[in-house]
Amino acid sequence: MGKTGGFLEYERKGNPAEKPLDRIKHYNEFHEHMDEASRKEQAARCMECGVPFCQAGMMIGGMSAGCPLNNLIPEWNDLVYQGNYEKALTRLKKTNNFPEFTSRVCPALCEAACTCGLNGSPVSVKENENSIIEYGYENDLIVANPPKVRTGKKVAVIGSGPSGLAVADQLNKRGHKVTVFEREDRAGGLLMYGIPNMKLEKHVIERRVNLMKEEGVEFALGQDVGNDVSAKNIMAEYDSVVLACGASNPRDIQVPGRDANGIYFAVDFLKSTTKSLLAEPSLKEGSYIDAKGKHVLIIGGGDTGNDCVGTSIRHGAKSVTQLEMMPKLPDCRTEKNPWPEWPRVCKTDYGQEESIAVFGQDPRIYQTTVKEFVKDKKGNVTKAICVKLESVFDKKAGRNVMQEVKDSEFEVKADIVLIAAGFLGTQSYIADAFGVKLNQRTNVETPADSHATNVPNVFVAGDMHRGQSLVVWAIREGRDAAREVDEHLMGYTNLE
């Protein structure tokens, strides 16, 4: 695979990124594609590993090691090195319905498990993948291919995020008639309204949705099943139903002053910007939650928190502060976190890079949480009383917990607060509408290694099944659920 000794001959190089102070002037993706010769060199770094952990997709130490989709990574790296993009595309599509999504927003579990990364830099798998799928679109190799034979079976998919789209794509290819119900005005779920344009421009999603429409998938947009649309009617009309509504309950911060004006959930903040940009690229004043000229406080240190940092800076925020409850992760792997486990190391993402460039410092404050929000006479938030935390072993719980450090309070200016503390699980109204049981984590309950719910003919996939997770896991869930639904409908399945 690749070039013998290529990993010794070529150093890892990434697609060139626009400088932070330049890219904050717009909301577009900011990486350029490298030339074909350079891309071949990057693909040549892929070794003929005896055990290619990059595509293993196994759980090690409770964390994913390698691609959950079991993408045939060494194969298509070799084909890119040979310049055979058409064959590389065929191998890529065999396991991944939406490489244009994963090659943009996936944290690259494959690269974290790459053997080259054990003693050096991993292969640039994610960018190689992106080069393949975009080559396919640019050269008209990705065209509608509707099934030649229909089974006569009808399937309703509730939710159009990555898991719902994967379910629909697979079952449509099998010949079932699929309708995707989406409560928003556009398909894509959190791909559309939860991930900023800087990471995933929305025409990329619409390009794929339009292709699925040409292949026969129907999209019923603005249809809130369980509220505006009867779940009973859907169960009566369709042979099977797949719930793919995500883990849509944002985790809240319950402290004094929470009712102040100017406190929003991160997903609502990001969604408002995306919707405004889709309506008018220049961002029409008053059409979104605006951080311009404001002191922004972001609670949460994950990807969504980082997206809020980058978006706030593009708005023209006066300052940005990001709170993380947990301690700062080490800069390099520790002995307790060996390869090929997912590396639990500190990552400075694009938003933090931009904050450093604009304000001269990393916006993150570690081991800190909010104790109280302070508001003015009009009820607007003006600042937050924060407190430092420390890790203390709790004998009763049998584990370390974060506890408040006595007399450690300090104030942070805040004209706008964005809560990016993750999601708690399924929204109850959709579960109640279909009568499906929830487990203790408020995810839909199923038997082990199954996507079947307690309700006949009703299945579940994605975050609604496994809890808040990654786009690549959502696609894996969607493919697995589709296979189970197909076997349920036909008595056998040939879906992979």
What pLDDT shows up at residue 75?
95
What pLDDT shows up at residue 464?
97
**Cα gap 133→326, rounded to integer Å:** 37
User: Where are the CATH 1.10.1060.10 domain residues in the chain?
Assistant: 6-138
Strand residue runs (E) in 409-450: 410-413, 416-419
Cβ atoms of 182 and 192 closer than 8 Å: no
Which superfamily, per CATH, for 263-419? FAD/NAD(P)-binding domain (3.50.50.60)
What pLDDT shows up at residue 51?
87
Place of tokens 């990555």: 162
**Cα gap 5→81, rounded to integer Å:** 13
pLDDT at 166 over 80: yes
Q: How many residues does the chain have?
A: 496
Can you tell me the mean pLDDT for 361-377? Answer: 97
Strand residue runs (E) in 300-349: 319-323
Cβ atoms of 240 and 457 closer than 8 Å: yes
Instruction: Extract the tokens encoding 282.
Output: 């220049």
- 154-248+424-490 — its CATH code? 3.50.50.60
- 448 pairs with which residues across the strands? none
Q: What is the average pLDDT score of the chain?
A: 95
pLDDT at 37 over 90: yes
What pLDDT shows up at residue 74?
95
**Cα gap 73→297, rounded to integer Å:** 40
pLDDT at 476 over 90: yes
Exposed / middle / buried, residue 218 (Cβ in 10 Å: 0-12, 13-18, 19+): middle
Amino acid at 471: V
How many CB atoms within 10 Å of residue 399? 9
Higher pLDDT, 118 or 377: 377
**Cα gap 114→29, rounded to integer Å:** 26
Please state which of the four CATH numbers 2.40.10.230, 3.40.50.2300, 1.10.1060.10, 1.10.3720.10 is assigned to the domain occupying 6-138: 1.10.1060.10
User: Where are the CATH 3.50.50.60 domain residues in the chain?
Assistant: 154-248+424-490, 263-419
**Cα gap 452→169, rounded to integer Å:** 19
What pLDDT shows up at residue 49?
87
Cβ atoms of 391 and 401 closer than 8 Å: yes
Give SS3 for 281. Answer: coil
Instruction: Extract the tokens encoding 474.
Output: 């959502």
Q: Radius of gyration (Cα) for the chain, nearest Å?
A: 23
pLDDT at 4 over 90: no
**Cα gap 401→326, rounded to integer Å:** 10
In the sheet that 319-323 helps form, which strands lie side by side, from edge to edge?
A: 263-265, 416-419, 295-299, 319-323, 364-365
- What pTM did the predictor assign? 0.96
Paired sense of beta strands 295-299 and 416-419, if any: parallel
What pLDDT shows up at residue 1?
63
What are the tens digits of pLDDT across the range 222-242?
999 999 999 999 999 999 999
Give SS3 for 391. Answer: strand
